[in-house]
Amino acid sequence: METKTQTDITWKIPEYREYERSKKWYMISAAISAALIMYAVVTSNFLFAMIIIIAIITIALHDNKKAAALDFSITENGIRIGEAFYDYSLFKNFWIYYEPSEAKTLFFEFKNSLRPRLSVPLQNKNPLKIRAILLAHMTENIQMENEPLSEQISRIIKI
CATH number at residue 79: 2.40.50
pLDDT tier for residue 79 given thresholds of 50, 70 and 90: very high
The reported pLDDT for the residue numbered 7 is 61
Nearest by Cα to 94 from 139, 156, 149, 159: 139
Asked if pLDDT for residue 101 goes beyond 80, the answer is: no
The reported pLDDT for the residue numbered 8 is 83
Q: What range does the domain containing 88 cover?
A: 71-157
pLDDT tier for residue 100 given thresholds of 50, 70 and 90: confident
**29 falls within a domain:** no
Mean per-residue pLDDT for 135-143? Answer: 91
CA–CA gap between residue 96 and residue 16 (Å, rounded): 18
Please state the φ and ψ torsions of residue 64, each to the nearest 5 degrees: -85, 0
DSSP class of 39: H
**24 falls within a domain:** no
**146 falls within a domain:** yes
CA–CA gap between residue 137 and residue 8 (Å, rounded): 12
Does this model's pTM top 0.85? My answer is no
Total tally of structural domains belonging to the chain: 1
**16 falls within a domain:** no
**42 falls within a domain:** no
DSSP class of 146: S
**103 falls within a domain:** yes
**46 falls within a domain:** no
Asked if pLDDT for residue 133 goes beyond 60, the answer is: yes
Provide CB contacts within 8 A for 52, sequence distance 6+.
33, 36, 37, 40
**23 falls within a domain:** no
